[in-house]
Every structure is written in C-alpha cells, then in structure tokens.
Homo-oligomer: A and B are copies of this chain.
Amino acid sequence: MSETSASAPLSLWADGPAKQRILDAIAAMTDASSASYVEPRRRIATFDNDGTLWCEKPMYAQFMFLLYRWKAMAAADPSLLEVQPYKAAVENDFVWFSDLYAHLPDLLKGVGDAFAGITPDEFDVEVEAFFAAARHPTYGVPLHHLTYLPMLELLALLRESGFKVLITTGGGRDFVRVVSEEIYDMPREAVIGSSSVIEYKDGKLIRGNTLGSTIDDGPGKPVHIFERTGFTPAFAGGNADGDIQMLESAQFALLVHHDDEQREFAYDTDAENALALAEKNDWLVVSMKNDFVKVFGEART
C-alpha cells in the first residue's frame, strides 16, 4: 500500500472527477492557506464498515457470525432447536430472518444471549474461530479478502495526511476490532461500533445480554464520533441511509455507490435517501464500477 500511495496517490482509483475531488479535498484540508484548511487536531476521518470498506452482500459478516454462533449453541443444547432464532439458523431459514419486524423480539433476545456472560478474551476466540472458518457465500473466499482495496488506499492516504482514521460500524465494535489490525492496519481503539453492554463484575469484564445505549447507526454515528474524539469528522465515507447523519456532520462526505454487478453487487436498497441527499448536498458519489481500478485483492479482481 505505502509504495503505491507514495509514488502515485490513489493508484487504484481511475483517473477522473471522483479521484480528483478526493485529492483536491485532502490537499485543501492540509493547506493552511486554504479556506477548507483543517487544523491537525481536527483531522478526523470516519468510515462506515459494511458496504463502505468491505462487502456486505448477500449478508453482513456480523450476521454470518451470529448464525455461526446460534448454530453452535443449538448443537451444544438441542432444546434450542425448537427456539427462534436458533431454529431458523440451523435450518438456514432466511425467509424467517427476512421478516425482521415480526421477529424482532426473538432476534434481539438471540443477539443478546449469543455472547452474554463471557469475557472479552473469550469473545475474541469466538470471532477468530469464525473468521478462520467462514467463507463468503458466493465468492467462496475468506471474508478478509473482501475489503475494497481502493478504500484501503484512501485510508492510508488520509493517515499520511495527518488524519486520525476511525471506523464507525453499525455492526459489532468488538467483532470488527478482532480483525481491524490485520485487515485495515488500524488499532482496536480506531473502531467505534454497536455493542452489548459491558459490565465489570468480580474483578473482570463481562458481556451483558442487552445492547448498549445507542446503536452505531443513523444519529448514533455522529454522537459516538463526538464522544470518542471531541469533534465532528472532517472527512467521512459511507454507503447507506444509516450513514446520512455522519455524512451530514462532516466537512467532506463521500458515498460509495454499489453499481458494479460484475465485480461486486449492484443495489440501491437502503441507500435511496443517501443517494438523493448526495445530490442535494453535493457529496461525492463514488461509482465502484467506474472509479475503482480494482475492487478486491488476490482472490477477486
């Protein structure tokens, strides 16, 4: 990564207006004579994860992890085979899961119970086992391989330009933290996200069975970014409606558009409002099809 960005910034981005606008924005934010200058202490760059930095289709990695866990729990305790969401997980009953609203109480209870009562270290072991075993449903490769290389290049360029780069994931903070060092070159503390309540009992940290205050989605994103950093972001990237408030709160906003059916997936679902606002607010819409020279690494191009 460093050699490409040192010699030719954003070499994995096609020459054109999107790449140019990113380079211009970063140049202006780091130029003390520019009206867009951002002093170093305020150079916070925040990126959604699912669909912005790695592939989120046909299902979230976080959801695959829950399925994996629910299956393991049902294998250990067969009485769960008659209880939702364990039954649907074992039967790969995606129709059941797709009716999110009807099944929300069962789902939330299942999410809460999945890792309740274990320590952060025990949780990490589960996540590591999942990533070692998991394969993407259609690509068939480990999920690690499905980060968007041009986006990683952008993160590196921002870091080189003095930005503190953070991930704000609607998925599990502690789930993404287990792999953030390896796949994003980002320390655990750089990941903000949703989480179960964490408690301190009998001298150790324990995961509770309810979700913590605000989910890291929608208005929760700028709130969590402020709580974490003391600032709103100077630069932000997202891909979906859940990123709108974060993008709104940023000085420069970028929206990844999934329009590349051949190399990835083409969909606007749950991004319709963000796409409309991008036009209204002049956010940069990045076409994966036209602006990315490559999408994935070795396993896929």
Interface residues of A (CB under 8 A from B): 41, 120, 164, 173-174, 177, 181, 187-189, 191, 195, 198-201, 203-205, 212-213, 219-220, 222-223, 226-232, 245, 248-249
**Residue of B with least CB distance to A195:** B227
A187 to chain B, nearest CB (A): 6
4 nearest A-B residue pairs (beta carbon): A188-B230, A200-B219, A189-B229, A200-B222
Tell me the complex Cα distance, A204–B226, Å: 11
Given contacts A188-B229, A188-B230, A199-B219, 9 further A-B contacts (CB under 8 A): A120-B226, A120-B230, A164-B189, A189-B228, A195-B227, A198-B226, A198-B227, A205-B223, A205-B232
Tell me the complex Cα distance, A228–B120, Å: 13
A203 to chain B, nearest CB (A): 6
- Indicate which residue in B181, B220, B222, B230 contacts A189 across the interface (CB closer than 8 Å): B230
Tell me the complex Cα distance, A212–B214, Å: 11
Given A41-B187, A213-B213: A174 touches B230 (CB 8 Å cut-off):
yes
CB pair A228–B228 under 8 Å, yes or no, is yes
A217 to chain B, nearest CB (A): 12
Tell me the complex Cα distance, A181–B187, Å: 22
